Chain A
């Protein structure tokens, strides 16, 4: 029934990405070893990249792989190894009584609300005519041109603010990592 309505390759790509995303996400939750969680996270992020490609966001898919799987997860793994916390965490015990039940109910309500909102998406996004450019989204290398034009014209201020944010983040991370040593130096002087 589905195959008659939609092209089979598109359905297969969607199913692949859905499988990757859901298996990866559940893996992040369920794995006891943080290293395994980080590897599951790569799986989920890769699935999101597949979904991006399927929806003609080629540039973002490349950035997703390079930045997320290539940098952020490596940073996670580095911190896990650096701190030596790669031993198993006990997930059986539940310090707060009923925490998982309440979390599950809250998540169910949230997901139901989200799906309801998406089903009425014209409430939040407006009609199709609201679209600013009006041109159909390009694929391939044209996608890079299109997103580059948008970032460097319409969203130029946000882009500049991002640069400032990155500088602040780098300086903050260096300060956080160096604080202990500075405290030791003060302690030895006094």
Chain B
């Protein structure tokens, strides 16, 4: 029989944790976006695993939509990064501090 779903779920949890750690510690906006992709993929893996366990195609359809939204998010996000880079020649999020009180 196939390996139990719990293995894939633990793997997805670890992937999510690594992605979250990257978002919290790295300060290049580009790397933060990549870590965001890792977190989205962890959730996709969870969806597919539960889809298999529950024999419900709805989980895979949800992954399909998550992928589309992730593509749109990356497009707009990288547009913002390019726009910010033109003004300050840096992608470090630490330097975006004009609104600090």
Contact = CB atoms under 8 A, between A and B. Distances in A.
A170 B76 CA distance: 8
A133 interface: yes
Interface string A88-113: 01010001000110111011101100
Interface in A106-159: 106-108, 110-111, 114-115, 118-119, 121, 125, 128, 130-137, 143, 146-147, 149-151, 154-155, 158-159
B72 A166 contact: yes
Which among B6, B14, B70 has the greatest number of chain A C-beta atoms within 10 A? B14
Given A14-B8, A75-B78, A170-B75, A60 B63 contact: yes
B13 to A, nearest CB: 4
A176 B22 contact: no
Contact of B76 (A71, A72, A147, A176): A176
Contacts of B49: 55
A143 B3 CA distance: 20
Among A34, A56, A118, the one with the most B-chain Cβ atoms within 10 Å of its Cβ is: A118
B37 A10 contact: no
Nearest to B63: A60
A29 B48 contact: no
B55 A10 contact: no
Interface in B25-44: 25-28, 30-31, 33-35, 37-38, 41, 44
Contacts of A110: 16-17, 20
Given A115-B13, A134-B55, A137-B52, A44 B30 contact: no
A185 interface: no
Contacts of B7: 14, 18
B24 interface: yes
Contact of B33 (A26, A76, A118): A76
B63 A57 contact: yes
B96 interface: no
Interface string B2-24: 11101111110111111111101
Contacts of A134: 55
B72 A169 contact: yes
Interface centre among A34, A44, A119 (most CB of B within 10 A): A44
